[in-house]
Homo-oligomer: A and B are copies of this chain.
Amino acid sequence: MPAPKFEQIYKQIKTEIETGIYRNGDYLPSEHSLTARFDCTRNTVRRALAMLEAEGYVLPLHGRGVQVIYIPQSDKSLFTIGGIESFAEAAERNNIKYSTKLISFELIKADEKLSLQTGFDIGEELYLIKRLRIFNGKAIIYDTNMFLRSETEGLTVEIAKQSIYQYLERELHMTITTSRRRVAAEKATREDKRYLDLGRADFVLSVTGQVFNSRGIMFEYTQSRHVPDRVTFIESAVRQKI
């Protein structure tokens, strides 16, 4: 089963924008000619363009054409978060070497307070895993993950020391489909100060999220506490027409 056509087109055009074949301010070829180029209908081309629009690569202008608004970012921060990525994937994309230190690995039950915070049902068994992410000898991310036991059976300390997502995807054949993220700046806790290399900062950038699998079950609640100035969080938004 090959990748869907609209996705191939999306990736192709995205690559052409990123490599500078189409530059900021340029217009893409018209939908009509893209239709000819990719041998498909306008609907399919438009779907690919909609994805590029959602990611802030292009801006369709009624009656004129589809303008490229991609400005390559000279990003100084270590991490760029956007979309769904595991830590390992982000590190790879950012071309960074890292190591992971397992702080703790427990099996707990969700009480009422935790249920309210995370969205897990009361009484559910959860793996509570805390890990430290280390770059160049500096601890810059403190991850707390809670996995629904019933969906992630077989999780071990050994796996937690490596990549949990790799285990879920390759061994359990789980597909991660969607997540919701919240970003907030928070005062550093005692735990943060103990584990993270905060330097003179006494605050962290906290990213929490719920992750769903392809069966529609929320199987993970995650909180990442980042040393500030090392992370940027990027989104692009399209204004609702009123």
Binding site for B on A (CB under 8 A): 3-4, 7, 53-54, 56, 59, 61-62, 64, 67, 69, 71, 74, 77, 82-84, 116, 119, 175-187, 201-205, 210, 212, 214-216, 218, 226, 228-229, 231-241
Can you list 24 A-B pairs, Cβ within 8 angstroms, ordered by A? A59-B177, A61-B216, A62-B214, A67-B216, A69-B216, A71-B210, A84-B237, A84-B239, A84-B240, A178-B237, A178-B239, A180-B234, A181-B235, A181-B237, A184-B205, A184-B231, A184-B232, A184-B233, A185-B226, A186-B229, A187-B201, A187-B228, A233-B235, A235-B235
A1 to chain B: closest CB distance in Å?
Answer: 10
8 Å CB contact of A184 from B59, B218, B228? B228
Given A54-B54, A181-B235, A183-B234, 20 additional A-B pairs, CB 8 A: A3-B241, A59-B212, A64-B216, A74-B116, A83-B239, A83-B240, A178-B237, A179-B237, A179-B239, A180-B235, A180-B236, A183-B183, A183-B233, A184-B232, A185-B185, A185-B231, A186-B229, A187-B201, A202-B203, A205-B205
Closest to A67 in B: B216
8 Å CB contact of A229 from B7, B185, B232, B238? B185
Query: Chain B residues with Cβ under 8 A from A231's Cβ?
Result: 184-185
Q: By the criterion CB–CB under 8 Å, are B228 and A178 in contact?
A: no
A64, A203, A233 interface centre (most CB from chain B within 10 Å):
A203
Q: How far is the CA of A235 from the CA of B56 in the complex (A)?
A: 14
